[in-house]
Amino acid sequence: MDGSTGLDHVAFSVDPRDHRRLGLEGVRRVAGWLSPYSVSRLTVSVRAGSAENSVEEQGFSCCDVDCRVLASSGRAEFVDAVRELAVDAAEGRVSAFDVDEALVDGYMDGAKPDLFVVTGRDHLVDSLVWESVYSEVRFLSSWMEIERGDVESLVSDYRSTERRFGR
């Protein structure tokens, strides 16, 4: 298996219906399947939508892959970044004339996935909105039903796609 895929960071947006069954064992399993392809980062974002969403945000390493589990919406993350930017502007650390995409990007997570996989939906969702703007997007029916063959297909599909980065 050739590890040189050009694929460094994979992110999954997990449907809120799967959040209680997410389990770190599932994240570790997917990290293990991605590791042979030289993927170094895995982000699993549990989308907003469940009042009893009890996923705890955390980071850990598994199979040489840095894993992060997030439990916030993309909109909330963007609002937090804008709020922090506004505070810095009010305190004179940033001028309104300095605000551009690169500056806003510095207030965001900064983790831009190469491949963004949405589970449980067939349309884009409110998860990693800013970070995934130039990502390749794929859809899977369910996080809980993901298998090694799904990961292999995602990587194969990524390898064969001509990326234009918004052009």
Residues 124-135: tens digit of each pLDDT: 666 666 677 778
- Looking at residue 104, its pLDDT comes to 85
Tokens of 42: 């895995």
Beta strands 115-119; 136-140: pairing state: parallel
Q: Is residue 86 part of a domain?
A: no
**Residue 152's domain spans which residues?**
9-72+112-158
Q: Is residue 130 part of a domain?
A: yes
Q: Is residue 89 part of a domain?
A: no
Residues 145-162: tens digit of each pLDDT: 889 999 999 999 998 887
Torsion angles phi and psi, residue 23, rounded to 5: 60, 140
Q: Is residue 19 part of a domain?
A: yes
Q: Is residue 59 part of a domain?
A: yes
Q: Is residue 94 part of a domain?
A: no
- Looking at residue 20, its pLDDT comes to 58
| pLDDT tens across the length of the chain (167 residues) | 444 558 999 988 887 666 556 667 888 899 999 999 999 999 888 765 544 445 566 788 888 898 888 776 677 778 888 899 999 999 999 998 988 888 888 888 667 888 988 887 666 666 666 677 778 888 888 888 889 999 999 999 998 887 665 55
Rounded alpha-carbon distances, angstroms, from residue 31 to 48, 64, 111, 164: 23, 8, 17, 27
- CA-wise closest residue to 120 among 19, 2, 9, 42: 19
Q: Is residue 122 part of a domain?
A: yes
Structural domains in the chain (count) = 1
Q: Could you tell me which residues come within 8 angstroms of residue 85 by beta carbon, excluding any fewer than 6 positions away?
A: 94, 99, 103, 104, 107
Residue 94 per-residue DSSP state? S
- Looking at residue 19, its pLDDT comes to 57
Judged by DSSP in three states, 146 sits in coil
